[in-house]
Amino acid sequence: MACRTLARWFVLSDILALLMAPKIANAQFIWQRQATIEHSKWGNSYTSLDCNGDNCTVAGLAELDTAPFVSLLFEHSIDGGKTWTQTLPKGFPEFNDGWHWVVKVQQVDSLTTVVLIDSLAVLPNAYAYVGSLAWTLDGGISWQRIAVPTQASVTDFHFSDVKTGIFITVGNEGQNDSIFTTTDGGSDWTRSYILTPYFLESCHSFGAGKFRVWGAYYGPFYSTLNNWMSWDSSNLANPSRNPTELLHYCSYSGFDTAYCFGVLLQQGAALHRTTDAGKTWTDIPEARDLTIIRYMTSLDRDTIYAAGGAHTPQLLKSTDRGNTWKIEDIICDTDLYHPEIRGITTSASGTPLMILDQGGGIYSYAHIFRGEWEAQGVKETANDLFFKMYPNPATTSINIEAHTNSRRVHLFDILGHEVQNVNLKDGKAQFDVSTLPRGIYSLILDRDKSDRIIGKVVLCGH
């Protein structure tokens, strides 16, 4: 695989990040690991995230040195993921045994976040997954379970506002599937039933009595305008009922536009779009280049991301609200092996946030990444001073040109450690990088005691 298409991730020190020059040329999109409080030397295990405007919540697991040794973990941001405040909730002792994790987060408003906590229950002859709902109403300071009138496992939920929401439970081949809705913040839940060929897989609340559920594996939509006193069904996203196409998830924009997505076995990911509430569907063939799609960002933006799956350092991106799509490589600043995407969302500015882990499942270590534009080779200041490096990527040497009175250039590795430095002669210098490991390195140019320019270079050596 070409060096530019490799997923590369390197931890940059906070000091280096603060030294960024104000004007950037030749920029590329870099996913940067966000600084959080980590409870083990390997990090935390984040499992889900969501943003509503610049209010964002990330959920996961933290390893502790004392009992109970594992705790649910929540990170909250009010600035679009630039900084995070951490909470280890104390109200869930039954969830702090390592057998529970958050599989879905919804940031309902600035103070309200709802989560679906999955667990692995040990039965006499088998294991079973059991889902429970919890929320915070104070911006993540405190968390509590949501009382629901059922012992069945919750499999999906959605709230259109803090008062109006829906969740579904799964029975046996649709015989006992249940839909629960509330219009008073969960004080009272109304139960409804729909007999489906298989089972209900996802749900959505539009408010004012409008709800929708999705039937596995390829539809249809079941929609109501009067809180399930009556409902209708859409056409199938896969009219041929192809058994290899499994559409597990849906994302919505208003009542008419939706994407449903999943996997087309042995062929790649599957993505279908409707703009008329499921009367007609359009297949998105570009999705085949991914292995599976589990997550989509908001459909109410020009730029939309779709992603999911392990060992695939790529995502699907549209910059025209889903009219056209293309595959984009994921280039990050921290090194992970066989990365798996666990979630993706966007802040108020459209800046994307993503969870990436080592591809080892729920209990592998994962990190929060924020997508930002960074310089690739050239950075300029307002006084037209500049720092240039080439070739980029490099294999054996890096050439430096600096039209300033600088005297020295420094090369930094993964942890911000200086690995080489060279003197500039007539504004030029060269690094011998033939023996350095491959990855992304940072270069610092000294202009005076208080002003430096940073560049980044990709090494494709060992």
Which residue is it, tokens 């809705």? 181
pLDDT of 364 reads: 67
Please indicate, yes or no, if residue 447 is contained in any of the structural domains.
yes
Q: Are residues 296 and 386 in the same domain?
A: no
Classify strands 366-380 and 352-357 as parallel, antiparallel or unpaired. antiparallel
Using the 3D structure, point to which of 349, 375, 401 is the last residue of a domain.
Answer: 375
The CATH number of the domain holding residue 393 is 2.60.40.1930
pLDDT of 232 reads: 95
Q: Are residues 167 and 259 in the same domain?
A: yes
Q: Are residues 404 and 446 in the same domain?
A: yes
Q: Which domain holds residue 345?
A: 28-375
Please indicate, yes or no, if residue 161 is contained in any of the structural domains.
yes
Please indicate, yes or no, if residue 15 is contained in any of the structural domains.
no
pLDDT of 198 reads: 79
The CATH number of the domain holding residue 196 is 2.130.10.10
Q: Are residues 363 and 419 in the same domain?
A: no
Please indicate, yes or no, if residue 296 is contained in any of the structural domains.
yes
Which residue is it, tokens 């960024």? 20
Q: Are residues 348 and 394 in the same domain?
A: no
Please indicate, yes or no, if residue 13 is contained in any of the structural domains.
no
Q: Are residues 323 and 450 in the same domain?
A: no
Q: Which of 37, 36, 34 is nearest to 64 (CA)?
A: 37
Question: How buried is residue 149: exposed, middle or buried, by Cβ count under 10 Å (0-12/13-18/19+)?
Answer: exposed
Which residues have C-beta within 8 Å of that of residue 205, sequence separation ≥ 6? Answer: 158, 159, 160, 164, 165, 166, 181, 211
Spatial contact of 458 and 3, defined as CB atoms under 8 Å apart: yes
Q: Are residues 394 and 311 in the same domain?
A: no
pLDDT of 303 reads: 95
Q: Are residues 407 and 347 in the same domain?
A: no
Q: Are residues 303 and 412 in the same domain?
A: no
pLDDT of 120 reads: 60
Using the 3D structure, point to which of 332, 359, 375 is the last residue of a domain.
Answer: 375
Q: Number of structural domains, the chain?
A: 2
The CA-atom distances, in angstroms, between 62 and each of 51, 105, 279 are: 21, 17, 45
Please indicate, yes or no, if residue 18 is contained in any of the structural domains.
no
| Residue ranges, the chain, pLDDT below 50 | 1-26, 122-123, 173-175, 362, 376-385, 448-451
> Distance (Å, rounded) from C-alpha 259 to C-alpha 281?
9
Angle at 191 between CA 188 and CA 197, to 5 degrees: 155
Q: Are residues 156 and 114 in the same domain?
A: yes
Please indicate, yes or no, if residue 427 is contained in any of the structural domains.
yes
Q: Hey, what are 341's tokens? A: 């995407």
Q: Are residues 250 and 393 in the same domain?
A: no
Q: Are residues 408 and 340 in the same domain?
A: no
Using the 3D structure, point to which of 340, 375, 410 is the last residue of a domain.
Answer: 375
pLDDT of 130 reads: 73
Angle at 381 between CA 377 and CA 387, to 5 degrees: 30
> Distance (Å, rounded) from C-alpha 187 to C-alpha 179?
16
Please indicate, yes or no, if residue 418 is contained in any of the structural domains.
yes
> Distance (Å, rounded) from C-alpha 203 to C-alpha 211?
8
